[in-house]
Amino acid sequence: MGIAHGWRVQLLQRKPLPQTLAARCPTSCCVGSTQTVGWSPMSWQAFPRLLFQTVPATPLAAAQEKAEGATSQEEQSPEAPDSPSPISSFFSGSGSKQLPQAIIIGVKKGGTRALLEFLRVHPDVRAVGAEPHFFDRSYDKGLAWYRDLMPRTLDGQITMEKTPSYFVTREAPARISAMSKDTKLIVVVRDPVTRAISDYTQTLSKRPDIPTFESLTFKNRSTGLIDTSWSAIQIGIYAKHLEHWLRHFPLSQMLFVSGERLISDPAGELGRVQDFLGLKRIITDKHFYFNKTKGFPCLKKAEGSSKPHCLGKTKGRTHPDIDPEVVRRLREFYRPFNRKFYQMTGHDFGWD
């Protein structure tokens, strides 16, 4: 039963809907296609083993990790829409709760919140606002508990959630595969050096007393040895984390979204996402405007509101000035991993 038919059922049971509301329901959906990119596993022996050893955190890194814990509340408490829309209110008592068919699995500080908020404009997407953290922190609560967190959907709609920490959680791929091998996975990636600085900036806003970015970056600054035990560095080694996912999911079920293009061309990236999810291309250029003050695109009308909507003050923070030599060393460190990631995904993100 398609979504249009679902509306007809509701009309038999309730008073007629206002014409403007009924007009918002699309009558058809088109199925997009994905292209499988060939990938040949390469041995990680070609890279220094030291990079992947589990190294006890230094006191400086430990202080940073503790500070990062204070930021989880922010990531799990996104701003709510201004007010419930008539269509959202109507859905709240209709349909059924389903396990998600698509999940935004990463990465932290890559642009996942922006992508989710943009996608929620689509009438065939129903998503959880806060991050469930089911496959990394609450897996013992069971799938029934997880399903109950989801919004109600009608036939033809997609249920989604986003938790960026899934991408770097070793257990997450197997757990999501056990739920459904057909789950579609979306990864928003960003220049790993910029991402690390953004990660640090978020923590610094909560804990101004933490050590400097430069101090946390190195195990020993005089030797230039990068501290890969620091999560801000570790998250950006995308190729390493992707290997774990490819053991459980084919590349055709994964879409890699450019965090940079999500800012420079949001409609273009959303077009790719809608195709990947098998949705009609409803979100287009007409939905966005660029906010020069914040430095990123905003929605002309957010889901559940008739007003323009930008992400909150916790997004788009001004980064601190980082020693250029430290930035240069980080770029050298990430370069081989970036190239490996380009090869694995079949896409050059242009970070080098």
Tell whether omega for the bond before 107 is within 30 degrees of 0, i.e. cis. yes
Residue 315 known to bind ligand: yes
Residue 346 known to bind ligand: no
In angstroms, the CA 277 to CA 255 distance is 9
Residue 318 known to bind ligand: yes
Q: Which of 15, 108, 109, 294 is catalytic?
A: 109
Residue 27 known to bind ligand: no
* C-alpha of 348 from chain center: 19
Residue 96 known to bind ligand: no
Burial environment of residue 291 by CB neighbours within 10 A (0 to 12, 13 to 18, 19 or more): middle
Residue 113 known to bind ligand: yes
Residue 236 known to bind ligand: no
Residue 198 known to bind ligand: yes
Secondary structure letter of residue 226 according to DSSP: E
In angstroms, the CA 274 to CA 290 distance is 21
SS3 of 328, please? Answer: helix
Residue 109 known to bind ligand: yes
Secondary structure letter of residue 286 according to DSSP: G
Residue 8 known to bind ligand: no
Residue 300 known to bind ligand: no
In angstroms, the CA 233 to CA 56 distance is 15
Look at the block and give the residue holding tokens 């770097």. 168
Q: Is 141 a known active-site residue?
A: no
Give start and end residues of each alpha helix (H) in the chain: 3-13, 19-22, 59-69, 72-76, 86-92, 112-119, 143-149, 172-179, 192-206, 213-217, 231-234, 238-246, 259-264, 266-276, 324-345
State the Cα angle at 40 between 233 and 135, rounded to 5°: 50
Binding residue positions for 3'-phosphoadenylyl sulfate: 109-113, 190, 198, 315-319
User: Which residues are the active-site residues?
Assistant: 109
Q: Which residues are documented as binding site?
A: 109-113, 190, 198, 315-319
